[in-house]
Chain A
Amino acid sequence: MSKTIFEHSSTGRKGVCLPPREFDTALESLIPEKYLRKNAARLPELSELDVMRHYIELSHKNHFIEKGLYPLGSCTMKYNPKIHESLVRHTCFANLHPYQHESTLQGALELLYELQEDLAEISGMAKVTLQPVAGAQGEFTGIKIISAYHKAKGNTHKTKIIIPDSAHGTNPASCNLVGFDVVELKSDADGRCDLARLKEIVDENTAGFMLTNPNTLGLFETQIEQIAEILHSVDALIYMDGANLNALLGIVQPGKIGFDVIHFNLHKTFSTPHGGGGPGAGPVGVAEKLIPYLPVPMVTKQDGVYHLDYSNESTSIGKVHGFYGNFAVLVRAYIYIKMLGAKGLRRISENAIINANYLMAILKDYYHIQHLEPCMHEFVADGTMQKKENGVSTLDIAKRLLDKGFHAPTIYFPLIIPEAMMIEPTETESIESLDAFAEAMIEIAQEAKENPELLHEAPLTTPVRRVDDVRAVKMLDPIFKIEN
């Protein structure tokens, strides 16, 4: 157990030294006393070394990509190139202010413009906005655009969006935020959209359909042409959740196969770091007819000069971010695309798919896999066999993996597979590292049979043992009680 930073505090210690004051005016003479704070905020007091030691100590308690495989399904935990980090920190990126005169931002705007173009090409969409700062905000933006499109056409009766039951939770939550009713579509026995059922529930009131492709089972939605036909016949639009785009680079351009809107997760497919939960970026690409509704500003180019362009403000959905999105994340994705080029991106997706299939081929003899056809960049195994035969749950298996130096897969998702383990190794793992992971999984399957108790007890070697998250809710403790 580590002390909190507050417990390391000692009165009078300083971690910084500001220049001496140049003015000795008293605060009370500048701001009337009634606005002033009487008791200081009790921030900790430490030297720089104290602070460094504390946070380095905390850092040692994390799993991270450079430490070991991180096979979280649909999260695309690939290696994040270090050149991104060194280039993005350039003072002429880090110290740009959003309200600088356009003429002093030309390099930054050029980069954003090129990234808009590159993402449009990769997705086959007509135009891309870089403003949304996360996947969920991209979804919100995209669904908002669908709403604006229908509003402009007078389609006020279109109140519902259809979402498959295998979708990420953000999909229904984003639709709700825009004000749509959500209708759930069951998957068929193949793990794909049930077409017959889709035909039944699509009607004049359908505004759109959100589809993750490949879906969260790692399967390509083969019937996309028929799906598009059904939806477009009632003037409903199709949204592609791009969470799993890592499977499609240079293989499929979603905009060319019927999708009207797509969001990208740059922190997945385009290798910007996840940062312990963010910041990411969730640009949105749209088909030609939806361009008028994109958020403002767009970056445009006229006679060799780049602009923050507000010209479509009257039709636009407005803004979703205070400024222009997560610029520093966009820079990293830009570098990634430029360094890989068309061949490199294609190679990324090919290897992501090969790695997933390789693991599946090994693990299928030890774990139940509902859909055994070749997968795309990820697959879903499950712990139902272990549960039934050994009383070992997927949670136990996941925790035991932590003991063996691996992060766990995404577990209990998608919701339609009991005891699910969604495994996405990504393309950056070598065959040796996949073998090591497979070996750990096989050992665990063996342990489940021979010593299930060991798995219930796991993890044994992590910085803390299994954490009581029920207690975290029942005895809510969201802040440290600072003494004095």
Chain B
Amino acid sequence: MPYISNTDRDRQKMFARIGISKFEDLIQAIPEKFRLDGELKLDKAMSELEITHKIKSQTCKNLCTQSTNSFLGAGVYDHFIPAAVDSIVSRPEFFTAYTPYQAEVSQGTLQYIYEYQTMICELTGMEIANASMYDAASAVAEAILMAVRKNKLTKAILPATLHPEFVKVIKSYTEGAGIELLTVPARDGVIDSTALKAIMDESIGSVVMQSPNYFGNIEDADLISEIAHSQAKSLLIACVDPISLAILKAPAEYNADIVVGEGQALGNSMYMGGPLFGFFATKLDMARQMPGRIVGGTLDKEGKRAYALTLQAREQHIRREKATSNICSNQSLCTLAATVYMSLMGREGLKEAALQSTQNAHYLANELCQIKGISMAYPDAPFFKEFVINTPLPAAMIIEKMLPQAIYAGVAVAENQLMIAVTEKKGRSEIDDFVKAMQEVCHV
């Protein structure tokens, strides 16, 4: 067996050293009637060649976004990933290492996390970031829980413009803490600020704002922040697209208190939606309320610069049921991809990716709206790389009709509304092909 060195001969030697004659002597603590009688019912073991064939047959039954013209988004995006990212991430020095508890032999991991935290703070303008959460959905949920730790107010406001799947995860995570989730409706594709004003009172602990929001629209963050902070204790939780932050206002500029978001687009392939990673940043005065691991700079005993996990007294392995979160394993390797990605893209490259995504998306939106029966669902809302159109046919029908042409048209967000995402990976000809297909599908 390739993954086990020890042969039956080795085992005999080991039995002799242990002082037993057969394996069963070691499992006497397991009552006989609890031991499996016979074998597990699993497929016959496969060799490397056989499993390669089997996986190939499965991959053949998938039609991936690279062999199609895909405009899917809604939280997971197909941005460009430089080849050098995987070259670093696939090094066993990083991917077969454990959580860096023994700092002296984990400086590589610790330093990249420190650099990652710094980059997240650069993008968001915040003062401290953790080493990652599972995804944006759980990051928003953890942010709400953190706000409650800070101000003891158990009401949170979720906008109707927040990703609906995030809302489901938030519900699962906050139910146990007795948090009451209020909803503020949307108006013209963004948070209805009048309605938000109307439900703000001193019992509100946090206001969540996603921008660009689920529909791709950019929220008026200054206004929402002002309303959210109209109550002295209430905190603003901003959920943002990290690539958008190369061109859009940093959340610190509109005084967000906790900033989270989905980091997948930073150098990680989509993998059908996992692994993703949630980034999580806040202000220094809330550092001790944060969930998750944090790396800090320090010195070794000779006074040399070194890194270590810090503020561990918040965490489950020390504080148990009083911990700020139950998180242990996080999405570390995904943050390594993000760190290498951001290092390669640099300040200009990330801006360029964001700009080209914006240009492409706006060009496509304009062209689609030339087609009879298609219009922008939210004509007054500014958007980044994703937008919603009204369609003359049911959106689900458009999606199905385009499948045979290997076009993934987008996500149906209402019966006659289609949400379309465009990144810098799209060239003009692919966009034009999509417009042509849309024209044909809608008007045959």
Contacts and interface: CB of A to CB of B under 8 A. Distances in A.
A28 to B, nearest CB: 10
Contacts of A201: none
A63 B54 contact: no
Contacts, number: 686
Contact of B296 (A40, A67, A97, A473): A473
A429 to B, nearest CB: 7
Contacts of A478: 114, 117, 127-129, 287, 294-297, 310
A277 B128 contact: no
Contacts of A267: 329
Contact of B274 (A16, A273, A327): A327
A189 interface: no
Interface stretch (A54-62, A232-240, A386-394, A441-449): A54-62
Nearest to B48: A83
Contacts of A341: 42-46
Given A62-B105, A66-B96, A374-B29, A51 B343 contact: yes
Interface centre among B41, B88, B91, B134 (most CB of A within 10 A): B134
A344 B277 CA distance: 33
B155 interface: no
B270 A94 contact: yes
A366 interface: no
B5 A322 contact: no
Given A343-B39, A467-B306, A472-B296, A480 B332 contact: no
Interface string A228-271: 00000000000000000000011111001100000000010001
A381 interface: no
A173 B10 contact: no
B61 A107 contact: yes
A145 B441 CA distance: 45
A152 interface: no
B42 A118 contact: yes
A145 to B, nearest CB: 11
A98 B2 contact: no
Contact of A45 (B1, B119, B128, B347): B347
Contact of B317 (A48, A179, A413): A413
Q: Specify which of A9, A182, A322, A345 lies most central, judged by the most chain B CB atoms within 10 Å of its CB.
A: A322
Given A41-B123, A90-B55, A341-B44, A99 B327 contact: no
B275 A40 contact: no
A220 B105 CA distance: 32
A376 B26 CA distance: 8
Interface in B378-432: 382-384, 399-400, 403, 408, 411, 424, 427-428
Nearest to A112: B272
Contact of A107 (B26, B57, B284, B353): B57
Interface string B172-197: 11011110000000000000000000
B97 interface: yes
Contacts of A282: 329
Contact of B301 (A46, A427, A466): A466
Interface in B90-145: 90-100, 102-109, 111-112, 114-115, 117-119, 121-123, 127-129, 131-132, 134-138
Nearest to B105: A63
Contact of B299 (A72, A361, A471): A471
Contacts of B177: 177, 179
A427 B73 CA distance: 42
Among B28, B102, B351, chain A packs the most CB atoms within 10 A around the CB of: B102
A18 interface: yes
Contact of A251 (B30, B45, B363): B30
B29 A339 contact: no
Interface in A69-120: 70, 72, 75, 77-81, 83, 85, 87, 89-101, 103-108, 110-111, 118
A1 B293 CA distance: 23
Interface residues of B, number: 209
A36 B333 contact: no
A166 interface: no
Contacts of A172: 316, 320-321
A276 B356 CA distance: 34
Contacts of A357: 14, 18, 20, 26
Nearest to B245: A41
Interface in A316-333: 317-329
A478 B297 CA distance: 6
A211 interface: no
Nearest to B402: A101
A137 interface: yes
Contact of A133 (B4, B274, B353, B399): B274
Given A32-B382, A95-B269, A347-B1, A398 B363 contact: no
Interface string B38-78: 01111111111001101111111111111100101011101
A19 B194 CA distance: 43
B299 to A, nearest CB: 5
A177 B301 contact: no
A323 B273 CA distance: 6
Given A133-B134, A220-B29, A462-B105, A58 B169 contact: no
A98 B329 contact: no
B169 A14 contact: no
B82 A48 contact: yes
Given A92-B64, A361-B19, A476 B72 contact: no
A58 B105 CA distance: 11
Nearest to B19: A361
B136 A58 contact: no
B51 A321 contact: no
Residue of A78, A106, A182, A358 most packed against chain B (CB within 10 A): A358
Contacts of B18: 354, 357-358, 361, 374
Contact of B26 (A173, A353, A466, A468): A353
Contact of B302 (A45, A327, A465): A465
A413 to B, nearest CB: 7
A342 B72 contact: no
Interface stretch (B198-206, B228-236, B246-254): B246-254
B92 A48 contact: no
Contacts of B359: 21-23, 25, 30
12 contacts: A36-B248, A46-B343, A60-B93, A61-B108, A93-B59, A108-B62, A133-B134, A169-B328, A251-B36, A273-B333, A345-B40, A479-B117
